[in-house]
Amino acid sequence: CGAWGCLEQFTNLEVRVLSVCAQQITTLFAAIREKRLEFVFSDGEQVYMDNKVGLFMTRDEHDTASQFDLRRTPSICNAFRTFAISEADTYAVIYVSLVSFGFRVQDAASTANKIKMLYMFCEHRLSKQAHYHFRLKNISNVLHALRSLRLKSSSSGENADLNTIVVTVLRQVNILQLVPEDVSIFMSLLAELFPGLSNGIGSRASD
């Protein structure tokens, strides 16, 4: 068992808050290195240690604001061993998330591939805009919205089709950021990847 958390734009926190985080991270890593069964956390509380615990941090090397904050709190960076990844496996992220939301494995596999293809097409076919994000950040927003809709439909006793929910969320997350000339292209991509819903998509394209 385990837990995973994502603190988006973590380095936009105030420097004094980052300093506290650095102290807590250092305390945790010291306990891991010393293989303690329990240790005293920074707030003075006695904490039991699971020796399987791990802590990872990702950062954008091109984000100059984040780099500035991290330089002012070098103890955070110094606590971590640095390694680089070329690109996240978006299919795996989407697939695992959909399964964890309670969707069937077969449906999740097919839909994950469609979402991955959609964002790949968006990067190549839509115009280049500074505010466009068709990578993991945008996909994460889609997954969060999917989870919320899934929970809502389950609590109301509905058994909504995965593709229907996905198309709804993809429109909600992406349409508002698109410039007018890209909206029709995006909608045609949706209709191409989700042909069974093409009529419904087309009728809502001008919402």
Model pLDDT for residues 7-24, shown as the tens digit of each residue: 556 666 777 887 888 888
Position 13 scores a pLDDT of: 72
CATH number of the domain at 90-204, please? 1.10.8.710
With 70 as the cut, is the pLDDT of residue 202 above it?
no
Indicate the domain borders of the chain.
Answer: 10-78, 90-204
Encode pLDDT of 117-161 as tens digits: 999 999 899 998 878 888 888 888 899 998 888 888 777 666 667
With 70 as the cut, is the pLDDT of residue 3 above it?
no
How far is residue 190's CA from residue 183's CA, in Å, rounded to a whole number?
11
Closest among 175, 168, 172 to 111, alpha carbons compared: 168
Which pTM was predicted?
0.58
With beta carbons less than 8 A apart as the criterion, state whether 154 and 103 touch.
Answer: no
First to last CA, the chain: 43
Which residue, chain included where needed, has tokens 């890593």? 29
Helices 136-155 and 90-100: crossing angle in degrees, nearest 10, is 10
